[in-house]
């Protein structure tokens, strides 16, 4: 008797659980592997006789579709015997065994009661403070212009960099103080 393999891929864990549940209930197959591929894709693998695998994959695909997470499915009928497709088969756990976890001993250093050493303070360069009235200068400049003003006109008039004025104009738009129509800025 040669085994066949079936795969159902879903978008998300819930779809894969639904698919695996339906596959195992629908036919005499064995769950051999579950892989989380990334980006939420999960593939469930089963093995069994060809007819059982085909009906299990159909049931698993339908279950994943019901929850809206079905991506794709496939059946490999009787693959070459020498090919070991799945190195990481799901191991059946013996319930009598207690789970063991490795014990790691950590070496602790005693805490000294002396005062901590002062840390050298890093010199922090103070940034030049922008004049608080730059936004008011822009608003004042726009107040006198019925036809609005372009970015480069404002930068030239206020003797500032284009990037600095652009950021300020975006802030003023967010504050609903000015509006932009095409390439011109207007006072509201």
User: Which residues of the chain have a pLDDT value below 70?
Assistant: 1, 81-132
119 lies in some domain: no
18 lies in some domain: yes
Residue recorded with tokens 């496939």:
74
Sign, CA dihedral 80-84-89-93, equals positive
User: Which secondary structure element, helix H or strand E, spans residue 33, and what is its range?
Assistant: strand 30-38
Q: Which residues of 91-123 are buried (b: 16+ CB within 10 A; e: fewer)?
A: eeeeeeeeeeeeeeeeeeeeeeeeeeeeeeeee
179 lies in some domain: yes
What is the per-residue pLDDT across 26-53, written as a single tens digit (0 to 9) for each? 999 999 989 998 889 999 999 999 999 9
Distance CA 64, CA 11 (A): 9
Burial class (CB in 10 A: 0-12, 13-18, 19+), 44: buried
The residues near 57 (Cβ < 8 Å, ≥ 6 apart) are 6, 7, 8, 23, 46, 73, 74, 75
* Domain total of the chain: 2
Instruction: Please answer whether residues 23 and 60 qualify as being in contact, where contact means their C-beta atoms are separated by less than 8 angstroms.
Output: yes
84 lies in some domain: no
148 lies in some domain: yes
179 lies in which domain range? 134-187
* Residue where a domain terminates, one of 33, 61, 76: 76
* Residue where a domain terminates, one of 53, 76, 99: 76
28 lies in some domain: yes
69 lies in some domain: yes
88 lies in some domain: no
The predicted structure's pLDDT at residue 101: 57
Instruction: Please answer whether residues 89 and 30 qualify as being in contact, where contact means their C-beta atoms are separated by less than 8 angstroms.
Output: no
CATH number at residue 174: 1.10.10.10
Count the Cβ atoms, other than its own, within 10 Å of residue 145: 15
The predicted structure's pLDDT at residue 162: 86
CATH number at residue 43: 3.30.70.1710
Nearest 5°: CA angle at 15, between 10 and 21? 115
* Residue where a domain terminates, one of 49, 76, 103: 76
Please name every residue paired with 182 in a beta bridge, in sequence order, or none if there are none.
Answer: none
The predicted structure's pLDDT at residue 129: 44
The predicted structure's pLDDT at residue 42: 95
């Amino acid at each position: 008797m040669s085994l066949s393999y079936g795969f159902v891929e879903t978008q998300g864990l819930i779809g894969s659980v639904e698919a695996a549940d339906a596959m195992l209930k629908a036919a005499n197959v064995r769950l051999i592997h579950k892989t989380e591929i990334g980006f939420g894709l999960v593939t469930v693998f089963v093995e069994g006789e060809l007819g059982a695998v085909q009906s299990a994959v159909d049931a698993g695909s339908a279950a994943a579709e019901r929850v809206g997470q079905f991506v794709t499915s496939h059946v490999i009928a009787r693959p070459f015997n020498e090919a070991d497709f799945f190195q990481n088969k799901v191991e059946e756990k013996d319930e009598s065994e207690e789970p063991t976890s490795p014990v790691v001993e950590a070496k602790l250093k005693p805490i000294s009661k002396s005062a901590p050493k002062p840390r050298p303070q890093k010199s922090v360069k103070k940034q030049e403070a922008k004049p608080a009235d730059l936004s008011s200068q822009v608003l004042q400049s726009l107040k006198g212009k019925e036809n609005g003003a372009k970015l480069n006109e404002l930068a030239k008039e206020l003797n500032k960099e284009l990037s600095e004025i652009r950021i300020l104009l975006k802030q003023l738009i967010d504050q609903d103080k000015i509006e932009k129509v095409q390439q011109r800025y207007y006072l509201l």
